[in-house]
A and B are shown apart, each in its own frame.
Chain A
């Protein structure tokens, strides 16, 4: 029992050492030999442990790769998922919003694993409650537009934040226009 424990500790050491470049003239195999000089049983254990360890490392690498891919996908989507702007107290899709939404729809169709949250936002004029309802209308108008372009509704959800989350706080029209938006996040 004690022996195995020692061996396992050594294996762990090996595992750590692996991250460093191997010293010249040695291979991981040789290192493995050197930690188990006598016992065949211990050798087996070590071999197994190393295999498990390697499998685990492989698994982790795979997960990392996947996470990286997802991150890249989100990052790539970022350049596509631009805010869509609205007129004051309106929720119809403006002419200038269509190219952006067309691009998003095409992107969504190409990347079938992608799901979106459409957030509806308003400027600070008007009352919070009415603006929450208006923000919901904006988010749904965008969702419906994308849906009409062939993006399945099941891959889109909506939420309204009304005037609660402005991205610009100056009291002028340039700023208010930035706030009257639909914003996208990847789910």
Chain B
């Protein structure tokens, strides 16, 4: 077992280059202008161009940056040969032994260089370099963190007895298997992005585990008879979960130091899928106490239970937006599962998927995207889209049956 972890550990480092070796050749940052205000209701796309010189690696990096920035819906790439761009990225790549990427961002309206920077790293980390450049550009233009170096976990069907947990870059590249054992089900990212909390069925028992991505090691968190399903962690580190240890599936909260779990619900119905709001003050969960599965909210001490969804007879899988104002969930309409969003106060409900069956929504840490799974192309796979439903695209290959994506927090 130890061997396995060791092997995986080197894998981990390969896929999580903790830092792109960053030799700052020259940094010029002239600044203090927000080019795109993403909080404004009508955002105008920023016309931008990109040029690159160097070996094939240059075109690869250019392609990744384009894909990153375009997917936000905030940039429109225009040809560098015709006028129209208000900003331009110039990329110079050297790929002898290691990748050296020197790039600059220029304001074409004011005719000045905003930034110039160089990153270097081993060739295997070429995508990380590109994503880091995207993050830098995004930060300058919007003054917000970009999600281009975040990760997505998802479940992958391996056999009837085995559903694995995988981890990929946000764009579906650099996938690795993290948890190969058992039938893994509900899972979530801990706030500090180092831990995963998840449930797995092994030898007819559903237990809750914690995975340390730093040490690449699994730890048992909770075990009892019956069905135990992991929810998520609050900012203070409490973990919410559902358990049928007393016979009926109820919502609990425990601290990770091994204290006795506190039971928050007591209803005859099924209570499952609990999720702490980002501030830890509320818990959303699914209950069929009203006759059909619906989404409910309660204070994190179990008081003040109120029903959130009223339309449709099957609403499950609540997921909080990072600002806590919205929840995404799965609703059944005409026999198909679709993704909906609704505000915390129950208003503003909106359906955002329409083709095939769509499940398992999870917000990106900047609140701009949703990851979900869909069978619209035949086999179930992971998709991402902007929260308004625009630009829905598959990120996992067709030959993998993948489901239940969870978007990581920002890596600190």
Contacts and interface: CB of A to CB of B under 8 A. Distances in A.
Nearest to A117: B204
Given A127-B330, A128-B186, A133 B270 contact: yes
Interface in A44-90: 89
A130 B183 contact: no
Interface in A79-136: 89, 117, 125-130, 132-134, 136
Nearest to A158: B226
B332 A126 contact: yes
Contacts of A136: 226-227, 244, 249
Given A89-B314, A136-B244, A161-B201, A130 B185 contact: no
Contact of A129 (B160, B229, B314): B229
Contacts of A159: 201, 204-205
A33 interface: no
Q: Which among A117, A130, A161 has the greatest number of chain B C-beta atoms within 10 A?
A: A130
Interface in B152-175: 160-161, 163
Contact of B316 (A117, A129, A164): A129
Contacts of A125: 332, 335, 337
Contacts of B330: 127
Contacts of B404: 128
B75 to A, nearest CB: 35
Given A136-B244, A164-B183, 9 more contacts: A128-B185, A128-B403, A129-B272, A129-B286, A132-B185, A137-B270, A159-B204, A164-B163, A165-B160
A128 B337 CA distance: 12
Nearest to B359: A127
Contacts of A130: 270, 272-273, 286, 288, 293, 316
How many chain B residues sit at the interface, stated as a range, is: 35 or more
| Interface of chain A: mostly helix, strand, loop or mixed | mixed
A177 to B, nearest CB: 15
A127 B314 CA distance: 10
A162 to B, nearest CB: 8
A130 B288 CA distance: 9
A179 interface: no
Interface string B371-412: 000000000000000000000000000000001100000000
B243 to A, nearest CB: 10
A155 to B, nearest CB: 16
B88 to A, nearest CB: 46
A134 B314 contact: no
A162 B227 CA distance: 11
Contacts of B340: none
B300 interface: no
A128 B242 CA distance: 14
B272 to A, nearest CB: 5
Interface in A126-182: 126-130, 132-134, 136-137, 140, 157, 159-162, 164-165
A127 B360 contact: yes
